[in-house]
C-alpha cells in the first residue's frame, strides 16, 4: 500500500517494553510487527524507556527500532542525567518527523501505563496528524485498589486515558466490558487476544537439557503467576516421579520475590530438582519450551488474571506439548479441559500436582491433547490472523 509515493507505516511506541529482547510485552510487540509487515505495512518501534543500551537505533527482522533516550551508559553528572530525560522528548519528535517524511504513518500503537506518556503521545498525534490506538493487556486499576482516594485517582486516570486516544486494543473481553461500562463506544474498541508467532516453535532440535523436565517460562512472580504454587505442586510429585525435574526460565520482577522463590525450593529440599535458568534470549526460548515434557502455569486468581491473558500460554500451546494451566480469567473461554489443555482450579497446589501426575502417567493421551492445543495457535491466536483484523480496525478509524 502507498499514498503519495510513501509507504504506509505503523509506529509501535511505548515505555512498558524493550526491543528486540525483553519481556512478555516485547513478545506481543514482535507478533504485532510481524503481522503488519506481512500485510505490506512498514513498522517502526520507539522504546520510550530511560534504558541504557549499546544499540540506541537499529533494525531487527525488518523492524526499525529507536531509543530516543539515547544513553549507552549512566552519566556521573546529575544535571546531564536530567537533561537526557528531557532531551528524549525532542529526540522523539525528530524521529517521528523523519519517519513521517518517508512514510505515511497510519497510527501510533501506544503501550504505556503513565498519564504523562499518554499526554505526550496525544500531542504528537495532533502535531503529526496521526491516530492513536492504546494497547491494554492488563487491568488499568490493578495498582489502584485502596484506599478510596487511590481508587478515585485510578478511575480518573483511566477516564482521561480513554479520551487521549482514538481506539483501544483490549486483550480480553473483560477489558472490553470494563471500558463499555465506562461509556467508551464499542466502535472504539477491538478485542485482540494473546498473539503468537507459532513458526518460532516449529523446530526440530536435539534436547537442550540432559534430563526430563516440566517447564515454566516467564517472570518469577508469586502474586501474578503463582510460581510458589507450582513449586509446592512439584514437591508433591517429586518423590513419586523421580525422573522428572522442574525448570524455571526467567527472573523475578524484584530481587526479593526471586529470593523468596529460591528459598522455598531449599526449604522443600528441591535444590537439585528445581533448575533456575535465568533470562534466556528470544531465540533460545523455543528450544527449551519444545524440549519440555509438560509446560505449566499455576496462575492464581486475581484482578491481574481476570483482565489479562498470559502470552506465555500461547507460546506453550505452540509447542504441541501438554499444557497444565489454572482456570482463571478468560483461559476457560478458549481452552477446554482434556481437549486442548489440562485445566485446574486456581490456588490449589494439591489439585495442580494431581493434574501434573495424571499427564505424566498417561503421556501419549496428553500429547494428543497438546496437539489439539497447537491448532489454536494457527487460528485465533495466530499473529497474522489478528493483524488482518487490526488493520481493518485502523482503516475504520481513519475512514471516520
pLDDT in tens, 151-168: 999 999 999 999 999 999
CA distance 171 to 190: 9
For residues 376 and 255, the model is more confident at: 376
Question: Are the C-beta atoms of 303 and 264 separated by less than 8 Å?
Answer: no
Least confident of 4-8, 63-67, 99-103: 4-8
CA-CA-CA-CA torsion sign (131, 135, 141, 144): negative
Q: Is the pLDDT of residue 80 over 80?
A: yes
Question: Are the C-beta atoms of 136 and 309 separated by less than 8 Å?
Answer: no
Q: Find how far residue 181's CA is from the centre of its chain.
A: 25
Percentage, residues of the chain above pLDDT 90: 91
Integer CA distances (angstroms), 334 to 193, 380, 397, in order = 10, 9, 28
The mean pLDDT value for 220-239 works out to 96
Q: Is the pLDDT of residue 147 over 70?
A: yes
Question: Are the C-beta atoms of 109 and 133 separated by less than 8 Å?
Answer: yes
Peptide bond into 99 cis (omega under 30): no
Confidence of residue 399 (pLDDT cuts 50, 70, 90): confident
Query: How confident is the model at residue 145, as a pLDDT?
Result: 84
Integer CA distances (angstroms), 65 to 48, 91, 259, 325, in order = 11, 13, 34, 34
Query: How confident is the model at residue 3, as a pLDDT?
Result: 56
Q: Cβ–Cβ contacts within 10 Å for residue 121, how many?
A: 26
Query: How confident is the model at residue 1, as a pLDDT?
Result: 46
Confidence of residue 260 (pLDDT cuts 50, 70, 90): very high
Query: How confident is the model at residue 372, as a pLDDT?
Result: 97
The mean pLDDT value for 111-128 works out to 97
The mean pLDDT value for 139-148 works out to 88
Query: Which architecture, in CATH terms, is 198-376?
Result: 3-Layer(aba) Sandwich (3.40)
**Residue 306: which of 133, 162, 170 has the closest Cα?**
170
Integer CA distances (angstroms), 25 to 68, 231, 329, 353, 366, in order = 19, 25, 18, 29, 29
Across the chain, mean pLDDT equals 95
Confidence of residue 4 (pLDDT cuts 50, 70, 90): low
What is the location of CATH 3.40.50.2000 in the chain? 2-195+382-399, 198-376
β 213-217/245-249 pair status? parallel
Spell out the CATH class of 2-195+382-399: alpha beta
* 124-153: b (≥16 Cβ within 10 Å) or e: bbeeeebbbbbbbbbbbbbebeeeeeeeee
**Residue pLDDT, tens place only, 367-389:** 999 999 999 999 999 999 999 99
Beta bridge partners of 47: 14
**Residue 142: which of 351, 314, 354, 302 has the closest Cα?**
302
Integer CA distances (angstroms), 249 to 52, 244, 245, 274, in order = 24, 16, 13, 11
Q: Cβ–Cβ contacts within 10 Å for residue 254, how many?
A: 12
**Residue pLDDT, tens place only, 309-357:** 999 999 999 999 999 999 999 999 999 999 999 999 999 999 999 999 9
Confidence of residue 2 (pLDDT cuts 50, 70, 90): low
Amino acid at each position: 500500500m502507498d499514498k503519495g509515493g510513501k509507504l504506509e507505516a505503523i509506529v509501535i511506541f511505548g515505555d512498558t517494553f524493550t526491543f528486540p529482547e525483553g519481556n512478555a510485552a516485547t513478545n506481543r510487540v514482535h507478533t504485532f510487527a510481524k503481522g503488519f509487515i506481512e500485510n505490506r505495512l512498514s513498522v517502526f518501534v520507539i522504546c520510550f524507556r530511560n534504558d541504557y543500551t549499546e544499540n540506541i537505533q537499529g533494525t531487527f527482522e525488518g523492524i526499525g527500532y529507536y531509543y530516543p533516550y539515547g544513553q549507552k551508559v549512566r552519566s556521573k553528572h546529575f544535571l546531564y542525567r536530567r537533561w537526557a530525560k528531557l532531551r528524549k522528548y525532542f529526540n522523539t519528535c525528530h524521529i517521528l518527523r523523519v519517519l513521517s517524511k518517508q512514510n505515511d504513518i497510519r497510527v501510533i500503537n501506544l503501550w504505556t501505563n503513565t498519564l504523562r506518556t499518554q499526554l505526550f503521545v496525544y500531542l504528537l498525534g495532533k502535531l503529526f496528524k496521526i491516530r492513536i490506538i492504546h494497547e491494554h493487556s492488563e487491568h488499568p486499576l490493578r495498582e489502584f485498589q485502596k484506599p478510596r482516594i487511590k481508587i478515585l485517582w485510578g478511575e480518573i486516570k483511566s477516564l482521561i486515558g480513554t479520551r487521549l486516544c482514538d481506539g483501544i486494543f483490549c486483550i480480553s473481553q473483560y477489558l472490553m466490558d470494563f471500558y463499555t461500562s465506562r461509556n467508551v463506544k464499542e466502535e472504539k474498541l477491538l478485542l485482540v487476544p494473546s498473539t503468537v508467532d507459532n513458526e518460532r516453535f516449529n523446530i526440530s532440535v536435539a534436547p537442550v537439557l540432559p534430563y526430563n523436565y516440566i517447564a515454566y517460562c516467564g517472570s518469577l512472580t508469586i502474586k501474578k503467576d503463582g510460581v510458589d504454587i507450582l513449586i509446592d505442586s512439584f514437591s508433591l510429585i517429586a518423590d513419586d516421579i523421580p525422573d522428572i525435574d522442574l525448570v524455571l526460565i526467567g527472573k523475578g520482577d524484584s530481587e526479593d520475590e526471586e529470593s523468596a522463590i529460591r528459598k522455598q525450593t531449599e526449604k522443600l529440599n528441591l535444590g537439585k530438582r528445581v533448575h533456575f535458568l535465568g533470562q534466556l534470549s528470544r531465540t533460545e526460548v523455543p528450544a527449551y519450551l519444545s524440549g519440555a515434557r509438560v509446560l505449566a502455569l499455576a496462575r492464581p486468581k486475581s484482578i491481574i488474571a481476570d483482565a489479562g491473558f498470559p502470552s506465555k500460554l500461547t507460546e506453550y500451546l505452540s509447542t504441541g506439548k501438554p499444557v497444565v494451566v489454572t482456570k482463571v480469567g478468560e483461559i476457560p473461554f478458549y481452552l477446554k479441559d482434556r481437549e486442548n489443555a489440562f485445566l485446574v482450579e486456581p490456588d490449589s497446589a494439591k489439585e495442580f500436582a494431581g493434574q501434573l501426575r495424571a499427564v505424566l502417567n498417561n503421556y501419549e493421551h496428553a500429547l494428543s491433547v497438546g496437539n489439539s492445543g497447537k491448532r489454536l495457535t494457527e487460528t485465533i491466536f495466530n499473529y497474522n490472523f489478528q493483524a488482518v483484523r487490526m488493520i481493518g480496525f485502523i482503516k475504520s478509524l481513519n475512514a471516520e
